[in-house]
Amino acid sequence: MKISDKTFDILKNFSTINPSIIVKSGNKIRTVSEQKNILAQAIVEEQFPYDFAIYELNQFLGLASIFDNANADFLFSEKDITISEGDNASTYTYTDPSMVTAPPDQNLELPSVEVDFRLAYSDLKRVIDGANQLNLPEIIIMGSDGKVELVANDSKNPTSNTFRFDLNLPTNDTYQFVFKVEALKMIQDDYEVKISKRGVSHFKGSYSQYWIATEAGSNYHE
């Protein structure tokens, strides 16, 4: 069985949410953060034949990177994965699923939707880059004065530097939804964003989706 570069990119991204993972048979990969404030799901090209759990996902990804992915084969059994390339091979043993924080079987339903818009990945990346350059911990989705902005900020520091990006979207409402920068480091894709004033958001891309809790300081006013 081959594993595509795209699937490896998904696994690398999911490893930033939880360093461990449980994969169910089929073509759907899900993970949840240990704090259970981020849930993610992606549909992949492969059909995994077994349920399996990996405790150190980055270790497995590092092992797989040693092989030439174009020529490597991945043989899944009930207890382990064998990676082979010509005469070279390595066997990686699964962990006990009880050792991993497992995502729920069902997706989350937002209790309400107050904010709904399309977010280009290029716009999100630009604000994340701004936050990183200024060492800012948060990105705020902010509606005020009739417009919607992404604002990189430190809400705990009133004299903080900021980086603002106008999404060129109109709004009649006033709100700010606060996210940790690391929570928005998603797979490169454009997203349909829905946010509930009750503390949860949904970012849906073409093959991946994320449910992310908003942080303290978030508020919404019609």
Task: State the pLDDT at residue 215.
Answer: 97
Q: Report the pLDDT value the prediction gives residue 191, as an integer from 0 to 100.
A: 98
Q: Which domains does the chain have, with CATH numbers?
A: 5-99 (3.70.10.10), 115-221 (3.70.10.10)
Asked whether 78 and 97 are in contact (CB, 8 A), the reply is no
Cα(34)–Cα(36) distance, integer angstroms: 5
Rounded average pLDDT over 80-107: 96
Answer whether 47's CB lies under 8 Å from 54's CB: no
For the chain, percent of residues with pLDDT exceeding 70: 100
Instruction: Say whether pLDDT at 64 is over 90.
Output: yes
pLDDT at 222: 80
Does residue 194 register a pLDDT over 90?
yes
Residues, the chain: 222
Q: How far is residue 222's CA from residue 95's CA, in Å, rounded to a whole number?
A: 49
Instruction: Name 13's Cβ contacts closer than 8 Å, sequence gap at least 6.
Output: 40, 185, 186, 187
Residue 2: the pLDDT is 96
Q: What are phi and psi of 21, to 5 degrees?
A: -155, 145
Mean pLDDT of 188-207: 98
* pLDDT surpasses 90 at 76: yes
Q: What is the mean pLDDT of the chain?
A: 97
Burial 173-209 (b: 16+ CB within 10 A, else e): eebbbbbbbebbebbebbbebbbbbeebbbbbbeebb
Greatest alpha-carbon pair distance for the chain in Å reads: 65
Q: In this predicted structure, what is the pLDDT of residue 100? A: 97
Instruction: Write the CB contacts of 209 (distance below 8 Å, at least 6 apart in sequence).
Output: 40, 41, 42, 107, 202, 203
Residue 189, pLDDT score: 97
**With pLDDT > 90 as the criterion, what percentage of the chain qualifies?**
97
- Residue 73 CA to residue 82 CA, distance in Å, equals 8
- The structure tokens listed for 50 are 């077994």
Q: What are the pLDDT digits (tens) for 14-52?
A: 999 999 999 999 999 999 999 999 999 999 999 999 999
Q: Tell me the pTM.
A: 0.95
